[in-house]
Each structure stands twice: as C-alpha cells, then as structure tokens.
Amino acid sequence: MSENEKGLVVVSGASSGIGLAMTNKLLMEGYSVLGLAKEFEVFK
C-alpha cells in the first residue's frame, strides 16, 4: 500500500460516542470505514 492509499477500518459502536467520533475522523482522513452499530436508524 502506498503512502496515498488509505485502508479499510472496522469501527465497532459507530453510532455514538467514541465510535462515532472515530468514524467521522477516519472518514475525514480518507479511510474507508465499515461501521458496526446496534442502532441502524442513526445512519439513515
């Protein structure tokens, strides 16, 4: 993987709290994020 390529990150608890903050930060930095959450409605 080159310096410009970002990887895929799996975030557990992506619908709130630290998981949500990490998801937003990683997306802003160009990573692909697979977010796992109990509450689907948050992502609609």
2 found inside a domain:
no
Counting the structural domains of the chain, the total is 1
Our separate counts of H helices and E strands in the chain read 1, 2
17 found inside a domain:
yes
| Domain hosting residue 31, numbered range | 8-39
Average pLDDT along the chain, 44 residues, taken 10 residues at a time? 80 93 95 89 64
- pLDDT at residue 39, as a whole number: 76
12 found inside a domain:
yes
Dist. CA 41–CA 6, nearest whole Å: 27
3 found inside a domain:
no
32 found inside a domain:
yes
Q: Is the dihedral of CA 43, 36, 17, 5 positive or negative?
A: negative
25 found inside a domain:
yes
pTM higher than the cut 0.75: yes
